[in-house]
Amino acid sequence: MNKQEYKQAVEKLNLWAYHYYVLDDPIMTDEVYDKLYKEVEQYEEAHPEDILKNSPTQRVGDVVSEGFAKEPHLSRMWSLEDIFDADGLKKWLEKVYRLDSHVTFYCEPKYDGASLNLVYENGELQKGITRGDGTVGERITQNVKTIHTVPLSIEHKELIEIRGEVVIFKDEFDKINKERLKKGEPPFANPRNAAAGSLRQLDPSITAARNLVFLPYGVGVNTLPHKLLNDKMSYIYELGFRKPPLRAITKGYDEIEAIYERMKEERESYSMMLDGMVVKVNEIAAQIDMGYTVKVPRWAVAYKFPAVEKITRLKNIILQVGRTGVVTPVAVVEPTEIEGAVVERATLHNFDEIERMDIRIGDQVIILRSGDVIPKIVKVLTQERDGSEVKIERPTHCPVCGSELLQEEVLIKCQNLKCEARVVNSIIYFASKQCLNIDGLGNKIVEQLFNAGLVRSVLDLFSLTQEKLLELEGFKEKKAQNLLRSIENAKGCELWRFINALGIEHIGEVASKRIAEAFGLEYIHQNKEQLLTIEGIGDEMAESYLEFMRVNEETVVKLQEILRPVEPKKREEAQDNPFKGKRIVLTGTMSEPRPVIKEKLEDLGAKVSGSVSKKTDYVIYGEDAGSKYDKAISLGVKTLTEDELKELLQ
Ligand SMILES: NC(=O)c1ccc[n+]([C@@H]2O[C@H](COP(=O)([O-])OP(=O)(O)OC[C@H]3O[C@@H](n4cnc5c(N)ncnc54)[C@H](O)[C@@H]3O)[C@@H](O)[C@H]2O)c1
Ligand SMILES: [Zn+2]
């Protein structure tokens, strides 16, 4: 890098940082930002006389935006030095040991969210302030007060600044984005930007609706007597703040590496996004001795996890037609490795989204892969275009059957009930785990049966014979017998599975269960009024159900005769008890298997469901409770241990 390139790099970094911090809408991946940042740092080390005042290395990156009152921090807030691999850790440890060779290390997650400083005085929350430039932040107290995991008062009476990260849990993030897409609003690029954007809303009711969670990681001004950071943090958690999913005291390189590997492995299962692990000197006296650079503490470092966002190129768009006829665009991208997996496909949601992003074939894009979900395109790097990119047209005809497509709100649909893609996918769905769970009837086999003309509808499955199957490629006696047996085994299934397997639009597993419970085998002959008495079933669902039954009654009756689904058993009215009529969610490992406890609670007249919402009355948790417990806390839902549950029943 020469001086000219250095100047350009600083400009670039500042532009990217502006989009990242101020607009909460980054235009570059962290990986690329971090790489250029490192290069700038190296240049500055070699040429200290050239260091520009506005270099990102010279200041904490956030900018204080207009619209909020400025508020100075009582003590400075810092950023963190980043390291990316074992070598980086070794070098950092050498530096630390040169300053003090006796220290131990406190390791905890590096949460990917927005920093927040809380000022408590006389045990009351006085102020909530963003990090800003580290010295002055934005006063956002009203917004902060809407966050359930921020206690409004604490048992600690002396002045204290409690620092932490505001995050959005992953499931909440998915929910928000789904809702935004449904309303035709642009989805957030990632949970970090969603959290930062939600925190800095001028209207606190928007912040309140986003279910933000506060996770403390340190203190500023304080009078705490503890000599170890670990003890300080334990005290903070005791005050009513949320604990991290994993923290540990480590002695040195090997132990730090071990806990880093563990956290990296486990992070998928945590409710919040992490972008690394923070390693901090545990001894407070040593921290004070080591002090700070212009920007970061010398006693802490962020040991980053491999990036989940990468830049790649959009090669093409393919259209998939689902069982309901919805045509979904899927992006084909240049193969890119993310965390060990090669990514070649990514979701694009729908055509409104394609138009909103103005994504074109040939564009450079940022893709995000988190967990098992299909990677998403979160950003188009429009600034990188060279003019050769090609616009994407909305399809007018079904790519499979050629019939004209219909635009229904944000969805484009093939209306042809006989469309091959629709039929094949509905058979696949019929046989899938959450429906009739027919072993051995996956995508490939269904396509084979369809193409051979053996199965043109789900009814045909039940007239398959060994003879016919043996004519197919790859089918030997054993395989044919197994398939026929698993189809036979679907008979006598639970009624809800049967209803779910019909694939009625808007009627999923939960609704199917409720319909089965409410009406039993009378499920066909219901009217709208009766359907609407079921909790969770609204207008749209009821109408879709009725329309389906009207059109398909004959097939449904035939299927029922073949499959003979069984009704759920009726329970007797429970006697009065604290759980009667209550909505309950179970989580974690309990003294008995959860289905057993569920059964007992249902005998008491409780409704046990799988996900926590504001309407949940109790979350009962066992050991290793995870995201459901977290969600209960963030929503303010009452939680009970298994022992407390038993006590209430005595
Ligand atoms: N994509 C882009 O265009 C772009 C632009 C600017 C910055 N960035 C990213 O932002 C980062 C730099 O920003 P930064 O200066 O805010 O630093 P940072 O976010 O990497 O690290 C410091 C912050 O980490 C947070 N944090 C989370 N857990 C913590 C813990 N356990 N202990 C202490 N702090 C914890 C705190 O809020 C602290 O302020 C880089 O990783 C960079 O990739 C990206
Ligand atoms: Zn079609």
What are the tens digits of pLDDT across the range 218-247?
A: 999 999 999 999 999 999 999 999 999 999
Q: Is 210 annotated as a binding residue?
A: no
Q: Which ligand is nearest to the CA of 423?
A: 2
Nearest to 351 by CA among 417, 396, 387, 306: 396
- pLDDT in the model for residue 570: 72
- Per residue in 493-544, pLDDT (tens digit) is 999 999 999 999 899 998 999 999 889 999 999 999 999 988 889 999 999 9
Environment class of residue 540 by beta-carbon count within 10 Å: exposed (0-12), middle (13-18) or buried (19+)? exposed
Query: Is 110 among the residues known to form the active site?
Result: yes
Summary mean pLDDT of the chain? 92
Alpha helices in 213-252 (DSSP H): 229-238
Catalytic residue among 35, 38, 110, 478: 110
32 has binding-site annotation: yes
Q: Residue of the nearest CA to atom 10 in ligand 1?
A: 30
Please report how many Cα atoms fall inside a 13 Å half-sphere around the Cα of residue 227, on the Cβ side: 2
Q: 70-304 has which fold? A: D-amino Acid Aminotransferase; Chain A, domain 1 (3.30.470)
The per-residue pLDDT for 63 is 72
Q: What is the pLDDT of residues 551-561, one digit of tens each?
A: 899 999 999 99
Over the stretch 134-178, which tens digit does the pLDDT of each residue have?
A: 999 999 999 999 999 999 999 999 999 999 999 999 889 988 988
Residue 33 assigned to a binding site: yes
Ligand 2: centre distance to CA 446 (Å): 17
Distance between CA atoms of 205 and 208, rounded to whole angstroms? 5
Burial-class residue 577 by CB neighbours within 10 Å (0-12, 13-18, 19+): middle
Which residue among 32, 118, 165 is best mutated to probe the pocket of ligand 1, counting the most ligand atoms within 8 A of its Cβ? 165
Is the pLDDT confidence value at 474 over 70?
yes
**Using CA atoms, how far apart are residues 258 and 315, in angstroms rounded to an integer?**
40
Confirm or reject: Cβ of 302 under 6 Å from ligand 1: yes
Check if CATH label 1.10.1660.10 holds for domain 583-648: no
Q: Tell me if 610 sits within 8 A of 622, measured CB to CB.
A: no
SS3 430: helix
Reported ipTM: 0.95
**Biggest alpha carbon distance in the chain?**
86
Give the pLDDT confidence score for residue 520 in this predicted structure. 92
Rounded to an integer, the average pLDDT of 269-280 is 94
2 CB-contact burial (10 Å; exposed 0-12 / middle 13-18 / buried 19+): exposed
Residues with Cβ within 8 Å of residue 141, at least 6 apart in sequence:
125, 126, 127, 128, 129
HEC string for 307-330: CCEEEEEEEEEEEEECCCCEEEEE
25 Cα: distance to centroid of ligand 1 (angstroms): 15
- The answer to whether the CB of 449 falls within 8 A of the CB of 468 is no
Whole-number pLDDT of residue 257: 97
- For the segment 30-49, what is each residue's pLDDT rounded down to a tens digit? 999 999 999 999 999 999 99
Architecture per CATH, 309-413: Beta Barrel (2.40)
115 lines ligand 1 (CB under 6 A): yes
The residue to mutate among 30, 73, 192, 247, having the most atoms of ligand 1 within 8 angstroms of its beta carbon, is: 30
Which of 33-42, 389-398, 403-412 is predicted with the least confidence, judged by mean pLDDT?
A: 403-412
Q: Where are the beta strands (DSSP E) in 322-420?
A: 327-338, 341-347, 364-368, 376-380, 405-408, 411-414
Residue (of 282, 238, 252) closest to 108 by Cα position: 282
Give the closest residue (by CA) to ligand 1 atom 29.
Answer: 110
Q: Average pLDDT of 65-91?
A: 93
> What is the position in ligand 1's atom list of the atom closest to the CA of 32?
1
Quote the tokens at residue 519. 């009406």
Distances (CA, A) of 553 to 3, 264, 506, 508, 582: 76, 52, 18, 19, 36
Q: In degrees to the nearest 10, what's the CA dihedral of 339, 319, 314, 354?
A: -100
Given a contact cutoff of 8 angstroms between Cβ atoms, the answer to whether 3 and 47 are in contact is: yes
Strand order in the sheet with 212-219: 124-130, 114-121, 160-168, 212-219
| Nearest ligand, measured from the Cα of 395 | 2
Structural fold of domain 420-563: DNA polymerase; domain 1 (1.10.150)
Q: Which amino acid is at 239?
A: L
Percent of the chain past pLDDT 70, that is, above it, reads 99
> In this structure, which ligand is nearest to the CA of 398?
2
312/333 Cα distance (integer angstroms):
7
> Residue 22 burial (CB < 10 Å; 0-12/13-18/19+)?
middle
Least confident of 197-211, 268-282, 288-302, 438-452: 197-211
pLDDT of residue 334 exceeding 70, the answer is yes
**% residues pLDDT > 90 (the chain):** 72
Residues in the chain, total: 650
From residue 143, how far is each of 129, 134, 244 by CA, in Å? 10, 20, 23
Average pLDDT over residues 274-301: 96
CB 215 within 8 A of CB 111: yes
Q: How far is CA 409 from the centre of its chain?
A: 25
**What are the tens digits of pLDDT across the range 567-618?**
887 777 888 888 998 999 998 888 887 777 888 898 888 988 878 888 899 9
CB 177 within 8 A of CB 187: yes
The DSSP code for 448 is H
- The full set of domain ranges for the chain reads 3-58, 70-304, 309-413, 420-563, 583-648
pLDDT of residue 373 exceeding 90, the answer is no
Kindly list the distances between the CA atom of residue 477 and the CA atoms of 452, 465, 468, 484, 485, in Å, as whole numbers in the listed order. Answer: 18, 11, 11, 11, 12
* Cβ atoms within 10 Å, residue 167: 28
- How confident is residue 281, by pLDDT bands cut at 50, 70 and 90? very high
Measured in angstroms, how far is the CA atom of residue 421 from the centroid of ligand 2? 6
Q: Do domains 70-304 and 309-413 have the same CATH topology?
A: no
Q: Return the CATH fold of 3-58.
A: Helix Hairpins (1.10.287)
491 in Cβ contact with 498 (< 8 Å) = no
CA of 17 to the centre of ligand 1 (A): 11
- Helices 420-431 and 443-451: crossing angle, nearest 10°? 130
Distance between CA atoms of 109 and 302, rounded to whole angstroms?
Answer: 9
pLDDT band at 113; cut points 50, 70, 90:
very high
pLDDT of 372? 61
How far apart are the CA of 375 and the centre of ligand 1, in A?
A: 23
